A and B are shown apart, each in its own frame.
Chain A
Amino acid sequence: MSAPLLELQGVQKYFPVSTGTLLRRKLGWVKAVDGVDFAVWPGETLGLIGESGCGKTTTSKLILLQETPTGGAIRFGGEDISKLQSQELMRYRREVQVVFQDPYSSLSPRMRVGDIVAEPLEIHTNLSREALHERVTEVLELVGLQPEVARLFPHEFSGGQRQRIAIARALATHTRLIVLDEPVSALDVSIRAQIMNQLEHLQQTLGVSYLFIGHDLATVAHISHRIAVMYLGQIVELADSLELCTKPLHPYTQALFTAALPSHPDQRHEKLTISGEVPSALDPPSGCRFHPRCPHAMPLCAHEVPVRKEVAPQHAVACHLY
């Protein structure tokens, strides 16, 4: 049984909120991420789904070392990433890359595509120019682009092609984990399927793991093996993708499914089981954070924070109903 590639244990990230310019009084904490646990195994895709304010962006920043956790630990290959120094840190950076949502601002406008894709290699290796060129060609072909594009500049490409370039860059250094932050949301519908298929194909060929962050259930469910549902900084349900789609257990997950758009007009009539909006992370509800909006709330829910338990094989929920 192999070990997980990436592991988050009890990760917390609190942002201080203060007022005043000279004498900064502390008002409180924005608990963006409050006790998140999950693991990503080699060669699998873990989907992270949630609405704005749920903490998925902060989680990705923590994984990419753009922020440091206030509590808990993130382990990659068994090692705590906040304790990495110089060489090990460089190795982490080499093995974990990211693809962002906006294809129009993730490529350096004044660099040629070949240089953009080669950059991680230049940073981490000492390859000769020929070796670099070879690897760049290899990777460009992997994502379905002709090697000749290396000479061109980003503005000559469409959104879908730019995302391919971004993916090529993310793969250049034999990456083991790619964090994909809404990689297809900004693309045209017909291009999305191309990129999704490409990503799946790459995973099958290279065995790279993905953390796929998104807000569209159908898209995330399609590409992920397992899905983690986040709400207000916590993971409320973590299950195998198909299992989650057929039997969502947490009331929030169920609400997401009722809110999801149908794929056929005959599917129309599902009553929405949620109302109102996500409360502020500055002052989250006590106990189970979802209880004010939950149709099944019990008195217990306002007092005690539910612990995540595995209630079925590959299916864990944090809810007092179970």
Chain B
Amino acid sequence: MAALLRVSHLQTYYSSFGGARVVKAVDDVSFTLGEGETIGLVGESGCGKTTTCLSIVGLLPSAARVVGGSIAFAGEEITTKRPREMRRIRGRQIAMILQDPMASLNPLFSIYTQVAEPAYYHQAIRGRPLRQRVQELLRSVRIPSPAVRMREYPHQMSGGMRQRVVGAIAMAGGPKLIIADEPTTNLDVTIQAQYLEVLKDIQQESGVALIFVTHNLGIVAKMCDKMAVMYAGKIVEQGSVRDLFRSPRHPYTRALLGSMPKLGSKDPLYAIPGHPPNLAQLPSGCAFHPRCAHTMPQCVSQEPEDGHVDTNWTAKCWLTDKQAQEEYVSAIA
């Protein structure tokens, strides 16, 4: 089955001060996503996950540019597309859901106007069919009495409802891919749970693929089939969610999993020493080495390559390289 989205060796850099300072926000990132699949892009602030998504939809700020690699969507290369073409793809084929629903909704327009907009422009529906479509969409995100509520304005709704409206807008164009960037960070626990269920339902009904960008491993455990862990602009481990949760290979993945408090357990949390790196001043070799518990001499001098762990499971770490392991063992003997 051909992949819906294939990102290969993507490099997106920010340049400032006339090129004097270059920040490698995304440095050689590759992953694929098939139709109907859900992938979680996990990482902390500054790891590059949001920039990756902005690169995919073509909404990078003016200081950033895709300087290398390719992004193929439905077989077409989209990094080389002109803005006009990208506008046709955005909303119609690829939609985005952002973190703050208040910022995503226009306070001056009714819910109806905003949900109808993508359907109006991309699918040229008008009049009664359009109203029916909007009600259908609002129903699919479980908003009760859609015919009444679509006449309302954003400020009349609660946070959870607004986020669901954002979901309805995302679905309105009939996209094949939705990118959700931390969509539940501002929501209460029970509202978040309801919202995630809504997303799952939408996915099952329409077969849309989802990219979930988050720092919360719990969301990934609940919603995603695959996951890619990012650190300092690179994917350090990717594979199926089950595999990575069961036996993570990269020390960062292991550390993240170990630092999550688990309900009902008082085991001490593993606290990763140090703090996330400054992308403008990355450490040499493997960017994680200053904070890693298993640093070997090779980690300081050489950047690791994607080590093959299993089919569709890679980890960028010298530990997966058997030869490196053996060398290390013989060196300390």
Contacts and interface: CB of A to CB of B under 8 A. Distances in A.
The reply, when asked whether chain A contacts chain B directly with Cβ atoms under 8 A, is yes
Interface of A: 51-52, 158, 160-161, 188-194, 196-197, 200, 215-219, 221-222, 241-242, 245-246, 255-268, 272, 274-275, 277-278
A189 B262 CA distance: 14
Given A51-B189, A196-B269, A263 B256 contact: no
Contacts of A245: 263-264
Contacts of B293: none
B193 A51 contact: no
16 contacts: A51-B189, A188-B44, A189-B215, A189-B259, A190-B271, A215-B188, A221-B261, A261-B221, A262-B221, A264-B221, A265-B222, A265-B241, A265-B242, A266-B242, A274-B194, A278-B188
Contacts of B275: 158, 160-161, 188, 190-191
Contact of A272 (B197, B215, B221): B197
B45 A188 contact: yes
A222 B192 contact: no
A221 B194 CA distance: 22
A265 B221 contact: yes
Contacts of A193: 258-259, 269-272
Given A158-B275, A188-B44, A256-B190, A222 B222 contact: no
B271 A246 contact: no
Contact of B194 (A197, A263, A275): A275
**What are the 10 tightest A-B residue pairs by CB atom distance, in nearest-first order?**
A261-B218, A259-B193, A193-B259, A222-B261, A193-B271, A245-B264, A51-B188, A193-B269, A194-B271, A190-B272
B261 A242 contact: no
A261 B191 CA distance: 12
B188 A263 contact: no
A190 B188 CA distance: 22
> Which of A260, A263, A278 has the most B CB atoms < 10 Å from its CB?
A263
Contact of B268 (A158, A197, A221): A197
Nearest to A219: B261
A51 B160 CA distance: 12
B112 to A, nearest CB: 22
B282 interface: no
Contacts of B192: 259, 261
Contacts of A218: 218, 260-263
B17 to A, nearest CB: 20
B245 interface: yes
A224 B188 CA distance: 20
Interface in B259-307: 259-266, 268-273, 275-276
B216 interface: yes
A217 B263 contact: yes
Contacts of A262: 218, 221-222
Contacts of B272: 190, 193-194
B255 interface: yes
B260 A255 contact: no
Contacts of B158: 277
B219 interface: yes
A189 B44 contact: yes
Contacts of B160: 277
A7 to B, nearest CB: 26
A197 B269 contact: yes
B191 A258 contact: no
B261 A196 contact: yes
Contact of A215 (B189, B194, B221): B189
A255 B219 CA distance: 17
B44 A190 contact: yes
A189 B256 contact: yes
A256 B273 CA distance: 32
Contact of B263 (A196, A257, A266): A257
B221 A267 contact: yes
A52 B263 contact: no
Contacts of A256: 189-190
Nearest to A216: B189
B264 A246 contact: yes
A127 B259 CA distance: 40
> Which of B189, B194, B269 has the most A CB atoms < 10 Å from its CB?
B189
Given A194-B272, A221-B263, A277-B161, 20 more contacts: A160-B275, A189-B216, A189-B256, A189-B259, A190-B256, A193-B258, A196-B269, A196-B271, A215-B188, A215-B189, A217-B189, A219-B261, A221-B264, A242-B264, A258-B193, A259-B193, A264-B221, A265-B242, A274-B190, A277-B191
Given A188-B45, A192-B259, A217-B263, A261 B216 contact: yes
B266 A260 contact: no
A121 B45 CA distance: 35
A227 B190 CA distance: 18
Contacts of A258: 193
Nearest to B216: A261
B276 A188 contact: yes
A156 B219 CA distance: 32
B98 to A, nearest CB: 18
Nearest to A256: B189
A172 to B, nearest CB: 24
A106 B222 CA distance: 34
B266 A222 contact: yes
Nearest to B196: A261
A190 B221 contact: no
Nearest to B291: A190
A263 B263 CA distance: 8
A180 to B, nearest CB: 15
B61 to A, nearest CB: 22
A263 B221 contact: yes
B278 to A, nearest CB: 10
Contacts of B256: 189-190
A162 to B, nearest CB: 11
Contact of B215 (A188, A197, A257): A188
